[in-house]
Amino acid sequence: MFERKRPFLLMALLAGPVLIVGCGGDDEPTPVAPPPPELDPPPEVINEQMMAPMGTLSTRVAPGEIRTLSADTVYTLQGVVTVEDGGELHIPAGTHIQGSAEVQPSALIVRAGGKLFSEGTEDEPVVFTSSNPPEERSKGDWGGIVLNGRSLCNFPAGDCVGEGSSGQYGGTDRNDNSGTIVYTRIEYAGFEVSFGNELNALTMNGVGDGTTIHHVQTHAGSDDGFEWFGGTVNTHHLLATDISDDSFDYSTGFQGMGQFWLAQQDPDDGDNGFEVDGNEDDYNAEPFTVPLLVNVTLIGKGPNGEGGIEGESVDGFRLRRGTGGHIINALVIGFGGDGLDIDNDETVARMQAGLFSIRNSIIALNADAFEDAEEEAIFNTEGWGNRVGVDPMLGDPFDRVHPDFQPQAGSPALEGAASLVELAPLLATLPAELQAQFASAATFFDLTAVYVGAVGPDHDWTQEHWTRFGAHEH
């Protein structure tokens, strides 16, 4: 959830050394039984490496330092590890990094000007997970990853301070580069540093569009899956599963582009699919929050919002506090609250100014489609091409272990979508700075994805080798 936080110094952590610990070596371990294939990494493998000689990396990647990890070593974040301004941390494909469940909070924080390169592949993802044995891992075992950049923030200068004492961010460099995160999975993260002051699985503070982020999964997080505070970073193929708070949360002047975002919420402990804000203090603060998002799927607790804990009522889209943004070809199903909840006059004002719309989208199979008649009227705005109560006929979207998000033959999601070519007139009405920001839309977006939702009929990218659902890993 979005709340602006003041710095909270982690004095206990800063008082002593904090290390990334690597486990690796050539010592022959005591033979053990073969591990069960569904656990990753198997507990026997961890035990073998823990008996090997220990290697260490320093608490910080210093300015000007380039640090490269090894896929042959399992690393442990023993507390808060930082990549300083001018430093670079490179993580190759297949590397496993464990956040300590004992030294809390453990987190990887990239300062503004620092860079993280987490460069997995479809077959060899980079995995950030808990240091607990696989069968004992749970939400909130460790903190998560924070990227700080020098792109947009709509708080006054000096007031753009990250949650979880993650440092200053923000500026005017829309093209700022914080590195690369691709084919990366972040599990069992999210940590409450103090009341209302949390670390998310992946937090992007003022991250610019020079940064590359795609094919990233946040799984079993105790706070938000993905959260943006300002920034202009463009992302695609984001998967949030089994998240306790909001799957996608953006605010503070975020103006990035996104495509193929999918959330499958925890039916017993999930919050909203989207929770979106302009600015919590000043609902008219500029730059406005105005992203351009295409092909989104939000999956709630079950058909018609049933299943999970009785009385748990959360929304698909919760849009408030003066946010804008254009959301195209979205699918919202199965939430126990409303499919769409819009709050605050300033949010409606963004729509009236042409800075907010939801188009060519489907809201269905929720406990309620809308909070009230106002949301219904907005969603049914003439020319937006939306549909309500139409079963999208996905394969098995509510299965938490082996889901099928593909639209089946005859699905309404296979018709009524907007092509990006058809959106050109909409983009032409935006203010000059937003037209410039979205100028690369024709090359960034997959123009062949003319369907509603994040998954098409020909291939379900969420079932590739780099993802997991429940305890199951591909």
Q: Supply the pLDDT for residue 397.
A: 98
Q: Specify if 2 maps to a domain.
A: no
Q: Supply the pLDDT for residue 309.
A: 63
Report the range of poorest mean pLDDT among 187-201, 240-254, 404-418, 428-442.
187-201
DSSP E strand stretches across 343-432: 356-359, 362-364, 368-370, 387-388, 394-396, 404-407
pLDDT-based confidence at residue 242 (cuts at 50, 70, 90):
very high
Please state the φ and ψ torsions of residue 240, each to the nearest 5 degrees: -120, 120
Integer-rounded Cα radius of gyration of the chain = 21
- Residue range 403-424: average pLDDT? 95
Query: What is the residue type of 78?
Result: Q
For a pLDDT cut of 90, what percent of the chain falls above it?
77
Specify the DSSP class assigned to residue 167. -
Q: What is the per-residue pLDDT across 385-401, written as a single tens digit (0 to 9) for each?
A: 999 999 999 999 999 99
Nearest Cα to Cα of residue 238 among 185, 173, 277? 185
Q: Supply the pLDDT for residue 45.
A: 28
Report the range of poorest mean pLDDT among 181-195, 439-453, 457-471.
181-195
Q: Supply the pLDDT for residue 195.
A: 58
Q: How far is Cα 132 from Cα 42, in angstroms, rounded to an integer?
A: 11
Tell me the CA end-to-end span of the chain in Å, nearest whole number. Answer: 30
Q: What is the per-residue pLDDT across 295-307, written as a single tens digit (0 to 9) for each?
A: 999 999 999 888 7
Q: Supply the pLDDT for residue 420.
A: 85
Q: Range of 260's domain?
A: 11-473
Q: How far is Cα 86 from Cα 378, in angstroms, rounded to an integer?
A: 46
Model confidence at 413: pLDDT above 80? yes
Nearest Cα to Cα of residue 291 among 346, 228, 333, 343? 228
Q: Specify if 468 maps to a domain.
A: yes
Q: What is the per-residue pLDDT across 269-291, written as a single tens digit (0 to 9) for each?
A: 889 999 999 999 999 999 999 99
Model confidence at 103: pLDDT above 50? yes
Contact residues for 144 (Cβ-Cβ < 8 A; gap 6+): 99, 107, 108, 128, 186, 189, 190, 191, 199, 200, 201, 202, 203, 221, 223
Q: Is 466 helix (H, G, I), strand (E, B) or coil?
A: coil
Contact residues for 471 (Cβ-Cβ < 8 A; gap 6+): 38, 39, 134, 401
Model confidence at 5: pLDDT above 80? no
Q: Specify if 4 maps to a domain.
A: no
Q: Specify if 167 maps to a domain.
A: yes
Please state the φ and ψ torsions of residue 412, each to the nearest 5 degrees: -60, -20
Q: Specify if 257 maps to a domain.
A: yes
Lookup result for tokens 């939801």: 358
pLDDT-based confidence at residue 439 (cuts at 50, 70, 90):
very high
- Greatest mean pLDDT range, 100-104, 159-163, 319-323: 319-323
Contact 54, 22 (CB under 8 A): yes
Q: What is the per-residue pLDDT across 106-138, written as a single tens digit (0 to 9) for each?
A: 999 999 999 999 999 999 999 999 999 999 999
Query: Phi-psi bin for 158: left (phi > 0), alpha (psi -120 to 50), beta?
Result: left
Total number of residues shown for the chain: 474
Model confidence at 467: pLDDT above 50? yes
Q: How far is Cα 174 from Cα 437, in angstroms, rounded to an integer?
A: 8
Q: Supply the pLDDT for residue 16.
A: 38
Q: Is 241 helix (H, G, I), strand (E, B) or coil?
A: strand
Contact 84, 61 (CB under 8 A): yes
Specify the DSSP class assigned to residue 161. B
For a pLDDT cut of 70, what percent of the chain falls above it?
85
User: Do strands 404-407 and 394-396 pair parallel, antiparallel, or not at all (unpaired)?
Assistant: antiparallel
Query: What is the residue type of 19?
Result: L
Q: Supply the pLDDT for residue 194.
A: 63
Q: Specify if 176 maps to a domain.
A: yes
Q: What is the dihedral of CA 9, 12, 18, 24, to 10 degrees?
A: -130
Number of domains in the chain: 1
Tell me, rounded to whole angstroms, the distance of Cα 323 from its chain centroid. Answer: 18
H helix or E strand, kind and range, residue 295: strand 292-299
Model confidence at 405: pLDDT above 60? yes
Tell me, rounded to whole angstroms, the distance of Cα 391 from its chain centroid. Answer: 26
Model confidence at 25: pLDDT above 90? no
Model confidence at 326: pLDDT above 50? yes
Q: Supply the pLDDT for residue 8.
A: 34
pLDDT-based confidence at residue 311 (cuts at 50, 70, 90):
low
Query: Phi-psi bin for 172: left (phi > 0), alpha (psi -120 to 50), beta?
Result: alpha
Q: What is the per-residue pLDDT across 347-375, written as a single tens digit (0 to 9) for each?
A: 999 999 999 999 999 999 999 999 999 99
Q: Specify if 449 maps to a domain.
A: yes
Q: Specify if 283 maps to a domain.
A: yes
How many alpha carbons fall within 13 Å on the CB side of residue 105?
A: 28
Q: Is 376 helix (H, G, I), strand (E, B) or coil?
A: helix
pLDDT-based confidence at residue 218 (cuts at 50, 70, 90):
very high
Q: Supply the pLDDT for residue 305.
A: 87
H helix or E strand, kind and range, residue 373: helix 373-379
Nearest Cα to Cα of residue 260 among 216, 321, 308? 216
Q: Supply the pLDDT for residue 157.
A: 82
Lookup result for tokens 């996608």: 248
Q: Supply the pLDDT for residue 394.
A: 98
Please state the φ and ψ torsions of residue 127, each to the nearest 5 degrees: -125, 120
Q: What is the per-residue pLDDT across 53-83, written as a single tens digit (0 to 9) for each?
A: 333 345 899 999 999 999 999 999 989 999 9
Nearest Cα to Cα of residue 466 among 190, 263, 224, 183? 183
Model confidence at 151: pLDDT above 60? yes
pLDDT-based confidence at residue 196 (cuts at 50, 70, 90):
low
